Amino acid sequence: MRDEVPMDFARPFTDQSFFLIAGPCVIESREHAHLMASSLRDLAEARGIPFIYKSSFDKANRTSRESHRGPGMEGGLDILAEIRSRYGVPVLTDVHESDQCAPAAQAVDVLQIPAFLCRQTDLLLAAAATGRTVNLKKGQFLAPWDLKHGVEKLQSVPGHGPVWVTERGSSFGYGNLVVDFQSFPHLRKTGCPVVFDATHSVQKPGALGHATGGAREMIPSLARAAATAVDGFFFEVHDCPEKAWSDGPNAMRLEQFGALLDELLILWRAGRAAALQDAAGK
């Protein structure tokens, strides 16, 4: 059994900081994974932010069959386990099929259920059965109050681990997503830590014809707006989004990420202080 990375996954944020899930959409190479993991760890560590590195070994829901999907499960999990060991950070990856859950759980700390699959009962049960933390992303088609059913499926499994819930926007007509900020208090009713995926929320599905587009310039505005309502943030980050294998148009630039984290910490701490004040006055 591998060594555990110290982290309270039931309450991953601290009194002074939200927790951060960040990394490139898909594993592009071992070298690139090390570059991104070390850079992001340093940015988070310098600010006292609990950090989970994320990247996918396979992107099974790409728009086109010709799009890059990643190195596959065996090679990808080997890279993620190496990142985890070398940098001492927890690691998150997507799972798309039930039989991927147990092998992935041997290499990573958090299994993520993609938004399109948030109602897939067998997948949820298999992920929960590993005992690992599960990050359940709200489907673009789902009302926020209906995500509780997915949470209940996960928590029905004996020995399940902590569950997180993530908002990533809702479909609005064709080719656009909208974040309803009323979603956050509804998600909080699940009793799970609430995460905002600020980068997938600016996707433009199918906008490039062969791939999904995005409005990268909107990421900071949405993240700042959500800062007082969430426990954690999810960002896809890349050193050169124009060359990213997946989700480049909606990836945050690495060189700009530290400044955004500084802004979010100020807003998050102000919101947390106000919430504690309100609670004390009741």
Q: What residues does each domain of the chain span? A: 19-281
CA distance 278 to 140: 32
What local confidence, expressed as pLDDT, does residue 127 receive? 98
Helix (H, G, I), strand (E, B) or coil at 135: strand
Q: What is each CA distance from 170 to 70, 88, 205, 274, in whole angstroms?
A: 26, 35, 11, 28
CA distance 1 to 227: 37
Strand bridging mode 213-214 / 203-204: antiparallel
What local confidence, expressed as pLDDT, does residue 67 receive? 60
Q: What is each CA distance from 180 to 30, 113, 187, in whole angstroms?
A: 37, 21, 12
Query: How many other CB atoms are there within 10 angstroms of residue 275's CB atom?
Result: 12
Question: Which of the residues in the chain have pLDDT under 70?
Answer: 1-4, 62-67, 206-213
Which has the closest alpha carbon to 241: 178, 198, 199, 206? Answer: 199
What local confidence, expressed as pLDDT, does residue 247 receive? 83
What local confidence, expressed as pLDDT, does residue 63 receive? 59
Provide CATH code, domain 19-281.
3.20.20.70
From the CA atom positions of the chain, what is the Rg in Å?
17
What local confidence, expressed as pLDDT, does residue 1 receive? 37
DSSP output for 8-41: -TTS-S-SS--EEEEE-SB---HHHHHHHHHHHH
Count of all residues that appear for the chain in the document: 282
DSSP output for 49-118: --EEEE-BS--TT-SSTTS---S-HHHHHHHHHHHHHHH---EEEE--SGGGHHHHHTT-SEEEE-GGGT
Helix (H, G, I), strand (E, B) or coil at 167: strand
- State residue 66 phi and psi, 5-degree precision: -85, -10
